[in-house]
Structure 1
Amino acid sequence: MNWGDVESALGTSLPASYKSHSEMFGWGEFGNFIEVFSASLEPESGSIVGECRRRQDWADVDDEFASMYAPFELFPSPSGLLIWGAMERGGSLFWETSGEDPNKWPIVAVTEDDRKFSYQMEVSEFIFKCISGGVGPFFVRGEVRSFTPIYSYE
């Protein structure tokens, strides 16, 4: 993966844990519950660059869409939410891009009914906790603990 190109397209560095995770797994789903977007420049759904741009474009023209993230704004606003994944029932996973060190950005999970939960942990830890017992309201139902690759742009 060419991280320089991806980070340049986003306008920011990304957390090291996301990079490691992406290099190991690529784009895919854990337990049919958490989708981690690809580190791709492709504009298609499932690309961190494409999803970030798509949400910002919606927020630019739809105040109601933008307001569902309040009190946050979307990246590239300072401390804005930068999307990195999605959840089975319509939730979204972001980093709050506060501070200069992306390795310290908290994860913000936004549920399908617009509730927000903040977690000071890395992507892999968040996923592991969801599939091994739960993080707040986020947990994989049943014993499904698998990874399913979706597609590779490479």
Structure 2
Amino acid sequence: MELTQATVTDLLARLGPGDGYMYLSSALDPEGLSVRLDSRYGAARTLVLDGFTDPTVDESKGAALLLPFGDRAVTIRAWAYGDRWVGAGTALDAEGTERPVLVVAHREVPEPPVAAPREDGDVDWMERLLRITGWALPAQRPDVDWAEVESRLGTPLPSDYRRMVETFGEGAFDGFLALNQEPWTSHRQDGLLIWAGTEHENLYCWRTEGDDPDRWPVVIRSFDGEDIPFDCQAAEFVCRVLTEPDHPFTMADYFDTHWFMSYAEID
């Protein structure tokens, strides 16, 4: 079987919109299937490796993908995609032969709570973002040397942005809004630092006004050069575009549930 993205799309369509699984031809390369799914959904989490299940696997990490195979799973990797888990790898069939498998299951993402104020009266938008995306992994880049980055840039950076990078690492919200691991400076002459972007070539920036970076407003530099200001900071902006259908840059029209597509390898 020639393994192309069209082939993968066809296989997923055969599984349907609900929970389902299938054993595939032994001639299919399971690693090739994983590579195709990586390019579509981002880095996978390994649930089972060489027959041993990660003991931390639960519903928030794709445990539903393992149910069809019982103790017959050999290697299973999981991808989060909106309200769906996608899994692939190998498992023993009824005759005890190890074969490639593809499996899908419903992904439950908790409803984000109303943004509650902190003790100082401000909203913790990063905490809300964790709930919106259903993020349950450990911090991906907890040891970023921000002193070195800020010294090189010549400016301190907003604290919510630093928390986003430390928590999520390299990747994109809903596989679309890509988080820069440090700000881009290509529009610094315009007073802008770029903290994220999209495939539509919109740049998500801060207007670097004043000495307090936690008060820098978000500005969208559109693909045609227009600057669109927003009176909020980065984490709040991401929360709003994910959940508010009326937001001018909304992503809520495309997905009912949201996730962060990690580009890093997740063990």
8 Å CA contact 1:83, 1:94 repeated in 2: yes
Question: Which amino acid counterpart does residue 8 of structure 1 have in structure 2?
Answer: S
Q: Which of 147, 150, 153 is matched with 2:263 structurally?
A: 150
Amino acid at match of 1:28: G
Corresponding residue of 1:92: 203
1:2-151 alignment runs, 5 A limit? 2-39=145-182, 48=183, 51-52=184-185, 55=186, 74-75=187-188, 77=189, 80-134=191-245, 136-140=247-251, 141-143=253-255, 145-151=258-264
What are the ranges of 5 or more consecutive residues in structure 1 without an aligned counterpart? Answer: 40-47, 56-73
Larger gyration radius, structure 1 or structure 2: 2
How far did 1:134 drift?
4.6
Aligned residues between the structures: 120
- 1:13-38 CA distance string (max 9 Å, x none): 00011111111111210012211101
Question: 1:6 is paired with a residue of what secondary structure?
Answer: helix
Q: Which residue of 1 is the match for residue 91 of structure 2?
A: none
Higher strand share: 2
RMSD: 1.9
Task: Measure, in 1, the Cα distance between the counterparts of 2:175 and 2:200.
Answer: 10
Q: By how many angstroms is 1:115 displaced?
A: 2.2
Offset of residue 99 of structure 1: 0.4
Using structure 2 for the length normalisation, give the TM-score.
0.42
Work out the CA distance in 2 between the residues paired with 1:123 and 1:17.
7
Q: 1-side partners of 2:214 and 2:246: how far apart?
A: 20
Question: In the aligned structure 2, how far is the partner of 1:36 from the partner of 1:136?
Answer: 19
Which residue type is aligned with residue 146 of structure 2? W
Q: Name the % identity.
A: 30
Contact 1:129/1:135 (<8 A) preserved: no
Structure 2: gaps spanning 5 or more residues? 1-143
TM-score by length of 1: 0.70
Deviation at 1:86, TM superposition (A): 0.3
Residue 9 (structure 1) shift: 1.0
Contact 2:179 2:196 in 1 (8 A): yes
Is contact 2:207–2:216 with CA below 8 Å preserved after alignment? Answer: yes
Larger relative CO (CA 8 A, sep 6+): 1 or 2? Answer: 1
